[in-house]
Structure 1
Amino acid sequence: MRRALAPLLLLTLLFACGLWQPWDPDAVNVLARHAAPDIAHPLGTDHLGRDLLSRLMAGGFRTGIVILAVGLLGLTGGALLGTLAAVLGGWREKLILKASQLFIMVPTLIVALTAAAVFGLSPFSAGVALGLAAIGPLALFAHMLTKRVLCQPFIMAADAIGVSSGTMLFRHLLPNTLPTLLTYVGNQSGASAIAYASLAFIGLGADPSLPDWGGMLFEYRMFLFDNPMLIAWPALALGATVFVFNRTFDR
């Protein structure tokens, strides 16, 4: 239980970073470019004199939006589709599974391009794109779990005594599948953070004028040898986020 609080605390921290930063993350001061860490700028400044800590905090907020959007969209859509397919059976089950496989077949990059065209370049559009891409695998996983639970004796007994479909779903099926589905979604949260950073790195799903961890890696790549800490800090922030989610839900 204590370990499960770590991702919630991390998400809370990421969203809190969006409410306050010590400096304007976009404020340029060329006289203070590549400043060493000090009290005013704990992580130093970049090539334009912008406070690196403030930019990391703003990028963390945007990454938190993506993680939350992917988790909610993927869990809601995938779990619903997979569970319904297993419960309905017949041609409706085949139709839902075929639709879920379609989500797997479409490359995430194509989905990201479509979402960016419809919603614009933002963490929300990236979260929608990555969430839609996550629906297919999660639906197939939920379908497999639900099928396994439907074969259990207590489900057969409940069906034999005439338990309604709604009661069967919310009282017997979902309580036995949701914990495993939540674990799967938690593990995928780290992957969604990396995927968003990758999209931001290549300029998709994020406004390049705003700080994003992936965008910072792209912008600072030219200073890899002159000032490697510009690359190290966003990489460490991304790595720590992925580590927290994977470490927590793997256990």
Structure 2
Amino acid sequence: MAVADAVPVRGSWTRALPIALPAAIAALMIGACFLGPLVLPVPAPTGGNVLESYLPSFSTGHPLGTDPNGNDILSRVLHGGQASLTVAVSVNALGLLAGGTLGALSGHLGGIGDTIIMRVLDVLIAFPSLVLILAVAQSLGPSQANTILALAFFSVPAFARISRAATLRLREQPFIAAAQLCGTPAWRILLRHVAPNIVPQLITFAMLGMGLVIVIEGALSFLGLGIQAPAPSWGNMIAQGQQSLSATPMLVVWPCLALFVTVLAFNLLGETLRSRWSGE
């Protein structure tokens, strides 16, 4: 009996581990970035002492060393993570809300409205999004808010297409037809029947989008079109460190490592959720 009871336990752990591990890593990175500066004795990320510039890693009072301006690298990595994660969460939340709503309306209502909405979104998808993001970021000016707006705008078509496809599948289900025959308004059908069934798919896509947005935000900040120094972000920290890469490589290694671990965790989490949802 004991052996038989152990089998389902082992199976449940096998199924839970692919989700639990990346989720735990992502939660650890989020907790470290947002709670770390509150509980750890780290100095402010700016306003360092230039007399303490270029301190090596594991220096007293500066576990990861200092940058050319004497700022603590650990503090800047944690605060930079706050900026990158805030952008990623905001972009995916706005994209999910706007794109998910447009896609659900388009798929449920059909007709000329569906055609117009999807053709407009198809035009946006047809353009090279990275080039347009760079152009929009340049025209709006470099800031965290403008970075969020630029990235969120171009995330809407992808969320809308996923939402529309899921809604079209649901529209053929008997419970949707029954609700329509009972005279239920379209908005109530969308809120009570469609939304609960498509939100899990949109959240799964958002998990994959988190990693992509973090990378793009880092690239924009690296190019000087995102979050501007002295405010830290992983992208502008890498840009600053590459100027003295041969002499002090750790200035680049630490933000790159934080970015890599965070993106990997969200990608693995999103891919696992996608596989579970699709039944693979």
Q: TM-score, normalising length from structure 1?
A: 0.89
In structure 2, the CA distance between the partners of 1:8 and 1:94, relative to structure 1 (3 Å rule), is farther
Aligned to 2:7: none
Aligned to 1:140: 161
Deviation per CA, 1:126-174: give whole Å up to 9, x if none. Answer: 1111111100111111111110111223322332333332331112111
Q: CA contact under 8 A between 1:74 and 1:134: conserved in structure 2? A: yes
Query: CA shift at 1:8, angstroms?
Result: 5.4
Query: CA shift at 1:184, angstroms?
Result: 0.4
Task: Select between 212-221 and 6-15 the one with higher mean Cα deviation.
Answer: 6-15
Asked if 1:151 corresponds to 2:172, the answer is: yes
Q: CA contact under 8 A between 1:83 and 1:139: conserved in structure 2? A: yes
CA distance in 2, matches of 1:87, 1:42: 55
Q: Match of 1:43, SS?
A: coil
Give the aligned CA root-mean-square deviation in angstroms: 2.4
Alignment partner for residue 136 of structure 2, among 106, 114, 127? 114
CA distance in 2, matches of 1:190, 1:171: 31
Q: Match of 1:236, SS?
A: helix
Aligned to 1:24: 44
Q: Match of 2:61, SS?
A: coil
Asked if 1:235 corresponds to 2:256, the answer is: yes
CA distance in 2, matches of 1:104, 1:39: 51
CA distance in 2, matches of 1:31, 1:49: 7
Q: Match of 1:144, SS?
A: helix
Aligned to 1:14: 33
Number of residue pairs aligned between Structure 1 and Structure 2 = 250
Letter in 2 for 1:150: R
Query: CA shift at 1:50, angstroms?
Result: 1.9
Unaligned runs of at least 5 residues, structure 2:
1-15, 273-280
Q: Match of 1:34, SS?
A: coil
CA distance in 2, matches of 1:19, 1:197: 24
Asked if 1:34 corresponds to 2:50, the answer is: no
Q: Match of 1:204, SS?
A: coil
Q: Match of 1:26, SS?
A: coil
Query: CA shift at 1:26, angstroms?
Result: 2.2
Aligned to 2:278: none
Asked if 1:126 corresponds to 2:125, the answer is: no
Q: CA contact under 8 A between 1:28 and 1:50: conserved in structure 2? A: yes
CA distance in 2, matches of 1:11, 1:220: 23
Letter in 2 for 1:196: E
Deviation per CA, 1:166-212: give whole Å up to 9, x if none. Answer: 33111211111110111101110110000000001111122133221
In structure 2, the CA distance between the partners of 1:15 and 1:98, relative to structure 1 (3 Å rule), is farther
State the structure with more CA Rg: 2
Q: TM-score, normalising length from structure 2?
A: 0.80
Unaligned runs of at least 5 residues, structure 1:
none
Query: CA shift at 1:13, angstroms?
Result: 4.1
CA distance in 1, matches of 2:115, 2:28: 40
Identity of aligned residues (%): 32
CA distance in 2, matches of 1:230, 1:9: 22
Deviation per CA, 1:115-136: give whole Å up to 9, x if none. Answer: 5544x42222111111111001
Q: CA contact under 8 A between 1:29 and 1:49: conserved in structure 2? A: yes
Query: CA shift at 1:87, angstroms?
Result: 1.4
Asked if 1:55 corresponds to 2:87, the answer is: no
